[in-house]
Amino acid sequence: MKRIIFYIIIFLNLSFTQSYSNNKLYEKIDLFGEVIEKIKKDYVDDVNESKMMDSAINGVLQSLDPYSAYMTPELFKEMQTDTRGEFGGLGIEIGMESGVVKVISPIDDTPAAKAGIKAGDYIVKIGDKQVQGKSLMEAVKLMRGPIGTSIELTIRRKNIKKPLKFKITRKIIEIKSVNSEILGKKKNLGYIRLKSFNENSDKQFLGIIKKFEKDSKIKGYILDLRNNPGGLLTQAINITDFFLDDGEIVSTKGRKASETRKFFARKGDQIKGKPIIVLINNGSASASEIFAGALKDHKRAIILGENSYGKGSVQSIIPLRNGGGMRLTISKYYLPSGDSISEVGVTPDIVVEEKSDDFKINSKNDNQLNYALRLFNS
């Protein structure tokens, strides 16, 4: 009898807690309605009610984290055209930070990269429009336009007082995710530049490794993930697996059981234990951080360069009834050590910052790559 009474008390307590929580939520919804009515009645200018509600919905999502966002039906339709690997634009991956649009990374050989846009830049104006207060998707839309037309970006850059202006011509962006060459004075180092983790990156990557492994002179590898904004989780797992014989690669944890998983390496190091240096910078994000973090945790590679971006979360695109959609964070990445990447990133074993103003990846002014080459030759 006592046990039955105990269960009834627990049930009543849970019911009260849930009812109290619901009442608080409904109070906030009523308050929101009151604010809307007062704006419509008393605000100095006429208000576009639809746009105001879109901004409110987006505000709710943006309050969660920098990567969750609302897309109107128009923006959602545009977003769906971006997933085919070819789109018109400037060639930059962007995110939100404290309500400001931040460059995660410029994509190699695109108009933005050639113009001099850098990872970590803050975009304050697009053309003559202030970016502050706009959603991420609205900023993306402003940067798009007819191929061959130009747009001016006003940038704030760390350690530079005056804003910088860049005039950039839009073009079709074709992302070729992998390229390679043989480096070193003795032509004995395999250099692989991975620009993104796209659908077929693992097949391209493996093909390059097999080609290099046929060359008996190759004694080590430099894997360059600088300005790689990430991509598909499956690709990050597959490519990391090429260099491990066993052990955990990454785990994801979310509220749903289906979003909590662990991924492990299969036996078979494709380069048979040869030494690896992985290059990262502030533009290395998401899947790049999984790759670099896993190899670091397993002591399989030396990580060299600058601290990575710190995007350690998984977003899902969820269609909505109005034809729009939302991008919602559903889980977070964790490295084999158990550390989260979110807002922290991967710290290099050897910190080497970009030096010259005319720094360019894989050029004579690339002091990070030059440092890696010296390590192999020492």
Q: Is 56 helix (H, G, I), strand (E, B) or coil?
A: helix
In tens, the pLDDT along 55-100 reads 889 889 988 988 898 988 988 887 665 544 445 689 888 888 877 8
| Cβ contacts of 11-15, under 8 Å, gap ≥ 24 | none
Does the annotation mark 286 as catalytic?
yes
| Of 146 and 195, more confident | 195
At 370 the pLDDT is 95
Among the CATH numbers 1.10.3720.10, 3.90.1200.10, 3.90.226.10, 3.30.70.20, which is that of 178-313+324-377?
3.90.226.10
Annotated catalytic residue within 297, 308, 331, 366: 297
Task: Give the global pTM.
Answer: 0.80
Domain ranges in the chain are 69-174, 178-313+324-377
Q: What is the 3-state secondary structure (H, E, C) of 187-253?
A: CCEEEEEECCECCCHHHHHHHHHHHHHCCCCCCEEEEECCCCCCECHHHHHHHHHCCCCCCEEEEEE
In tens, the pLDDT along 113-147 reads 899 999 889 999 999 999 887 888 788 888 888 88
At 368 the pLDDT is 97
The helix/strand count (H/E) of the chain reads as 9, 19
Does the annotation mark 332 as catalytic?
no
Structure tokens at 39: 């704006």
**pLDDT score of 183 more than 90:** yes
In tens, the pLDDT along 277-334 reads 999 999 999 999 999 999 999 999 999 999 999 999 988 889 999 999 999 999 999 9
At 6 the pLDDT is 47
**pLDDT score of 27 more than 90:** no
Q: Which stretch of 20-24, 87-91, 227-231, 298-302 has the lowest confidence by average pLDDT?
A: 20-24
Mean pLDDT of 322-351: 94
Does the annotation mark 15 as catalytic?
no
User: Nearest Cα to 230, choosing from 334, 298, 131, 311?
Assistant: 311
At the topology level, CATH places domain 69-174 in Pdz3 Domain (2.30.42)
At 141 the pLDDT is 83
| Of 46 and 167, more confident | 167
Mean pLDDT of 331-353: 95
Annotated catalytic residue within 224, 288, 311, 366: 311
At 87 the pLDDT is 54
Residue whose pair of structure tokens reads 């605000």 in the numeric block: 43
At 21 the pLDDT is 61
**pLDDT score of 272 more than 90:** yes
Report the mean per-residue pLDDT for the chain.
88
Mean pLDDT of 206-230: 95
CA distance 128 to 9: 62
| Of 180 and 9, more confident | 180
Annotated catalytic residue within 286, 288, 313, 331: 286
Mean pLDDT of 261-281: 96
